[in-house]
Chain A
Amino acid sequence: MKIFYQCIAVAVVVTVLAVAFVPSASDWVEQVFQQYVGRAAR
């Protein structure tokens, strides 16, 4: 379980850095979020 927690921590940090600094990553995240929200609203 400890290794799992470490993997999750690394994944979260990598995700935050990728969305913050990789061009178009945040746009993709927002697009997916919009699709889910739109589906939920319908």
Chain B
Amino acid sequence: MEIVKRTLIVVLCLLLIPVAAVSTAAVKQRFADGPNRVFSGGPLESGDLHSGPEPDWRFVSDIETIEMQLLDPPRSRRIWTAEFDGKIYVWSGYMRTAVGRLWKRWPVQAERDGRAVIRINGTRYERQLVRITSGEVLDGITAAISSKYPSQTTRAAVEAGEAWVFEAAPRN
């Protein structure tokens, strides 16, 4: 019994090292100008702020991920994006699962206060996230998502609340 207990202690102690490494990297990223890979970053500070007419968002079809920051709380993350009918969209899956709701808190925060900044190719855009819960437009959006990513997001999934889709609309 003693040997089992000691082995367990040794394993737990050794696990402390990678846990410390990951925790430190995650905390460090919070103070950075934007996210890196998976950890949330701090506010998006660098890059020109776009002004003028609405961009032609079709260019995001060639971009894998964008950086997005909510104003409240001012944290940024790297997310997928898609363009449909001249508008830009972001989304989050797994929203009906406990793990998903715990892991992905930004959609709930965005529904409360949709003011956001996105940064693409070093340019920042002030946007207002507007959740889309139903409608025919979801057919086109989910088709755009599925053609760009290995995602099985469907209109039915969005309308069932499994995936939350937001239009990153211009902020007035």
What residues make up the interface of A, taking CB atoms closer than 8 Å to B? 1, 4-5, 8, 11-12, 15-16, 19-20, 26-27, 29-31, 33-34, 37
C-alpha spacing A4/B32, complex, angstroms: 35
A17 CB → nearest B CB, Å: 9
Number of residue pairs across A and B with beta carbons under 8 Å? 50
Provide the residues of chain B in CB contact with A4, threshold 8 Å. 10, 13
Are A8's CB and B29's CB within 8 A? no
List B residues 9-38 near A (Cβ within 8 Å).
10, 13-14, 16-17, 20-22, 24-25, 28-29, 36-38
What residues make up the interface of B, taking CB atoms closer than 8 Å to A? 6, 10, 13-14, 16-17, 20-22, 24-25, 28-29, 36-39
C-alpha spacing A4/B37, complex, angstroms: 34
Provide the residues of chain A in CB contact with B17, threshold 8 Å. 8, 11-12, 15
**The one of B10, B13, B16, B22 that contacts A29, using a Cβ cutoff of 8 Å:** B22
Are B16's CB and A26's CB within 8 A? no
Are A12's CB and B16's CB within 8 A? yes
Provide the residues of chain B in CB contact with A34, threshold 8 Å. 37-38
**The one of B10, B20, B24 that contacts A26, using a Cβ cutoff of 8 Å:** B24
Look across to chain A and name the residue whose beta carbon is closest to the beta carbon of B24. Answer: A19
B104 CB → nearest A CB, Å: 13
C-alpha spacing A30/B28, complex, angstroms: 11
Are A26's CB and B13's CB within 8 A? no
A15 CB → nearest B CB, Å: 5
Are B36's CB and A30's CB within 8 A? yes
Provide the residues of chain A in CB contact with B29, threshold 8 Å. 26, 30
25 A-B pairs in the complex with CB atoms less than 8 angstroms apart:
A4-B13, A5-B13, A8-B14, A8-B16, A15-B24, A16-B21, A16-B24, A19-B20, A19-B21, A19-B25, A19-B28, A20-B24, A20-B28, A26-B24, A26-B25, A26-B29, A29-B21, A29-B24, A29-B25, A30-B25, A30-B29, A30-B37, A33-B22, A33-B25, A37-B38
Look across to chain B and name the residue whose beta carbon is closest to the beta carbon of A26. Answer: B25
